[in-house]
A and B are shown apart, each in its own frame.
Chain A
Amino acid sequence: MVKIRIIQDRCKQCMNCVRVCTAFDGVYEEGPDGYPVVARPEECVQCLICHAVCPSNAIVHEDYHETVIINPDEKLAERYRNYI
């Protein structure tokens, strides 16, 4: 599961992330101290629109899915050449 961290030193408390979240229930909620809190991280669909609208880059997504494109190396590709 993705881990979301809000760096409070940078946060401007503008609640842009609360307003913009595209997940069904919304990942963020306004906390009691005025800072947004990550209430439902399991809802996150990793669209990262919150990064685009955060004025101070205070949101950090950790361990989100990275797509790996598998390419064989040259040696392996050389072996395929003989099959045809």
Chain B
Amino acid sequence: MPRLEPKDRYTLALVPLSGCGGCEVQALRALALAPDLQKRYEVVYWPLVVEETRLPDEVDVALVEGLVRTRENLEALREIRRRARVLIALGSCAAWGGIGGNADSFNHRLSMRAIYGVERIEESAEILPRTFAVTDLVPVDYVISRCPPPVEHIMLTLRAIAEGKPVKTADSTVCSQCPRKMKPIEKLEFKPGLPGPDADPETCFLSQGYLCLGSVTTMGCGAPCTRHGIPCFGCGGPHHEIAERRDMDIITALARKIATLAGLDPVKDLDRVVKKLLEVYNPRRFYVFTFASQVLRGKPHGFAVKALVESRRDPVLRKRLEERARFARGEAPPPSPGGGEA
């Protein structure tokens, strides 16, 4: 853990890469709501907040938001890592690839043709062949995950860095904060799609046969989605044990838990449960927020790579892209919205 020398005021920079800007707003809220942080940090570079357009030579603390999609992003990221003492990956995109990582479902040339009608625009930035999470490319000191990252997490981290203390972390999952009751599964079958009004609001989604990633997602949100009837989509990224251990993946860890709930053996019947899960759900569904992460693509079972290959070969998605490309070139009527669900 890097230690900063004690100072009254540290410099702070925020570098936005390809992202929606939601994390920037959360960081701004964190600074606005904590007057003590405004005293300890001086913002030297932040396109949303200050007018300074050049990155300073040295920064104490730098936040990076968004994922690496273009060559400009890559250069900006390398530059900030060279100049910053402490680098914080802010949000799911920087930590795991996030929603933006789903851009990898298509060939980047095909997507350019589908949107602009040409493969490359002369003045635009060069798009990299695949997307990268920030944590895959440069060493990062802290990761504040979730989409968007909670304000308190940003405040706690910045405060702890300013005081020179380690940041406290918990190693549990979203399930520990979810009020739903877990019951044994009587019959192992999965229901596709989201739970409708007939779902029991008191019982765990896994017990009812719906897919919920709460038991494999790192804690810190207070389980707001499951409280309001939406299963967890895993915006916080996988639990650190799943990310670190070679024999664990999101699908296998979840299948172990489901198998035990159904009274099966978590080791012997693992393949059966995994097969059943993948029959009902597209493998992309397990990697909604972690599709671009090299950490999960490098797992031995390779479910993330399988999801990537399947979505790139998906004839429905390809047909939609080609239809859209013909429309962009002005050769065909606009494609019907909502048709051809993948």
Binding site for B on A (CB under 8 A): 9-10, 12-16, 19-20, 49, 51-58
Q: Does B263 contact A (CB under 8 A)?
A: yes
A57 touches B257 (CB 8 A): no
Nearest-CB residue, chain A, relative to B267: A49
What residues of A have a CB within 8 angstroms of the CB of B183 in the complex?
Answer: 14
Q: Does B184 contact A (CB under 8 A)?
A: yes
B266 touches A57 (CB 8 A): no
24 A-B pairs (CB sep. < 8 Å): A9-B176, A10-B172, A10-B176, A12-B176, A12-B181, A12-B204, A13-B181, A14-B183, A16-B257, A19-B260, A19-B263, A52-B248, A52-B253, A53-B257, A53-B260, A53-B266, A55-B173, A55-B175, A55-B206, A55-B215, A56-B215, A57-B171, A57-B241, A58-B172
What would 7 more interface pairs be, CB under 8 Å, given A19-B260, A19-B263, A53-B266? Answer: A14-B183, A53-B259, A53-B260, A55-B173, A55-B214, A55-B215, A57-B241
A49 touches B266 (CB 8 A): yes
Interface string of B173-185 (1 = CB under 8 A from A): 1011010011110
B257 touches A55 (CB 8 A): yes
Distance from A6 Cβ to chain B, minimum over Cβ atoms (Å): 12
Nearest-CB residue, chain B, relative to A11: B176
Distance from A11 Cβ to chain B, minimum over Cβ atoms (Å): 8
Counting chain A CB atoms within 10 Å of each CB, which of B184, B248, B257 scores highest? Answer: B257
Query: Which 8 pairs, one residue from A and one from B, show the smallest C-beta to C-beta distance?
Result: A55-B215, A14-B182, A56-B176, A10-B176, A56-B175, A55-B175, A53-B260, A16-B260
Q: Does B239 contact A (CB under 8 A)?
A: yes
What residues of B have a CB within 8 angstroms of the CB of A58 in the complex?
Answer: 172, 176
What residues of B have a CB within 8 angstroms of the CB of A14 in the complex?
Answer: 182-184, 204, 261
Nearest-CB residue, chain B, relative to A57: B172
Complex CA–CA separation, A49 to B176 (angstroms): 19
Distance from A49 Cβ to chain B, minimum over Cβ atoms (Å): 6
B182 touches A55 (CB 8 A): yes
Total chain B interface residues with beta-carbon distance under 8 A: 26
Q: Does B324 contact A (CB under 8 A)?
A: no
Task: Point out the residue from A16, A51, A52, A56 that lies within 8 Å of B261, measured CB to CB.
Answer: A16
Complex CA–CA separation, A10 to B239 (angstroms): 15
Q: Does B113 contact A (CB under 8 A)?
A: no
A53 touches B172 (CB 8 A): no
Complex CA–CA separation, A20 to B261 (angstroms): 9
Distance from B248 Cβ to chain A, minimum over Cβ atoms (Å): 8
What residues of A have a CB within 8 angstroms of the CB of B214 in the complex?
Answer: 55
Q: Does B256 contact A (CB under 8 A)?
A: yes
What residues of A have a CB within 8 angstroms of the CB of B263 in the complex?
Answer: 19
What residues of A have a CB within 8 angstroms of the CB of B178 in the complex?
Answer: 12
What residues of A have a CB within 8 angstroms of the CB of B184 in the complex?
Answer: 14-15
B182 touches A13 (CB 8 A): yes
Complex CA–CA separation, A46 to B259 (angstroms): 21
B176 touches A57 (CB 8 A): yes
Complex CA–CA separation, A6 to B182 (angstroms): 17
Nearest-CB residue, chain A, relative to B180: A12
Nearest-CB residue, chain A, relative to B173: A56
What residues of B have a CB within 8 angstroms of the CB of A15 in the complex?
Answer: 184
Complex CA–CA separation, A15 to B267 (angstroms): 17
Complex CA–CA separation, A49 to B248 (angstroms): 13
Complex CA–CA separation, A55 to B206 (angstroms): 11
A20 touches B181 (CB 8 A): no
Nearest-CB residue, chain B, relative to A19: B260
Interface string of B261-275 (1 = CB under 8 A from A): 101001100000000
Complex CA–CA separation, A15 to B184 (angstroms): 8
Nearest-CB residue, chain B, relative to A60: B171
Distance from A51 Cβ to chain B, minimum over Cβ atoms (Å): 8
Give the residues from 217 to 239 in chain B that come closer than 8 angstroms, CB to CB, to chain A. 239
